[in-house]
Chains A and B, each alone.
Chain A
Amino acid sequence: GNSVTQMEGPVTLSEEAFLTINCTYTATGYPSLFWYVQYPGEGLQLLLKATKADDKGSNKGFEATYRKETTSFHLEKGSVQVSDSAVYFCALSRISSGSARQLTFGSGTQLTVLP
């Protein structure tokens, strides 16, 4: 079946450090890929997405590239801020159209950024 594997947290970085959160997936066909973020005390919100191989999603300084050859969608940011402290979820859609009702989520990675 479809699955998403994220690097285990928690991840602790100093402000302005480089961030990578690894995400790999197993799926049939050509899924769409997503990163959602959950700030403390809030629900999840979409951070970025990519719908086909080699697409790069980007938002708020975060980037992720859909790599079909390595089945990966790693999240990166060049310089993290304290306000980036949150839990990050990688997700895939089971069908290529990216249907919300077919999302499979990873287990989440807690990021803490220290001043």
Chain B
Amino acid sequence: DGGITQSPKYLFRKEGQNVTLSCEQNLNHDAMYWYRQDPGQGLRLIYYSQIVNDFQKGDIAEGYSVSREKKESFPLTVTSAQKNPTAFYLCASSIAGRDTGELFFGEGSRLTVL
């Protein structure tokens, strides 16, 4: 089945450690996105990528980094510089060439900093 796979589903990290969240899609979509979801705050855009080897900062990029070496993959690294990393992270994709505003989401990764 086509879709977006995020891993791990749950992750615990000690303060000061970097952690990388995986996002893989087999929908052949050009564009991919990372969102952060906090209780009562909706979704906020961290980074997005329209094509391979290119990505742009979203509204809350500080303390995060991404790469887009393959069309299928868009990993997110939460660095030690992120002040409040405990959150639910959602990866999404869309058809860049026919951008209708529809996003396809993965099931999310919940990161807890101990």
Q: Select one of A32, A34, A107 contacting B42, CB under 8 A.
A: A107
B95-114 CB contact bits vs A (8 Å, 1 = yes)? Answer: 00001111111111000000
Give the chain B neighbours of A97 by CB distance below 8 A.
99
- Contacting chain B: which of A13-21, A44-52, A76-84? A44-52
In the complex, which residue of chain A has the Cβ closest to the Cβ of B49? A101
Would you call B105 and A101 a contact (CB within 8 A)?
no
Q: Residues of A within 8 Å of B, CB-based: how many?
A: 23
A105 to B45, CA, bound (A): 10
Give the chain B neighbours of A29 by CB distance below 8 A.
none
Of B42, B45, B48, B101, chain A has the most CB atoms within 10 Å of the CB of: B101
Would you call B31 and A107 a contact (CB within 8 A)?
no
Which chain B residues in 15-64 approach chain A with CB under 8 Å? 31, 33, 40-45, 48, 50, 56
Which chain A residues in 25-73 approach chain B with CB under 8 Å? 32, 34, 36, 41-46, 49
Give the chain B neighbours of A101 by CB distance below 8 A.
31, 33, 45, 48, 50, 56, 94, 99
9 tightest A-B contacts by CB?
Answer: A43-B105, A98-B101, A105-B42, A100-B94, A105-B43, A107-B42, A44-B105, A46-B102, A93-B101
What 14 new A-B contacts, CB under 8 Å, besides A43-B105, A101-B56?
A34-B101, A36-B103, A42-B107, A43-B92, A44-B43, A45-B104, A45-B105, A49-B101, A98-B99, A98-B100, A100-B100, A107-B41, A107-B42, A108-B40
Task: Enumerate 15 A-B pairs (CB-CB under 8 Å) in ascending A order.
Answer: A43-B92, A43-B107, A43-B108, A45-B105, A46-B102, A49-B100, A89-B43, A93-B101, A97-B99, A99-B99, A99-B101, A101-B33, A101-B56, A105-B42, A107-B40
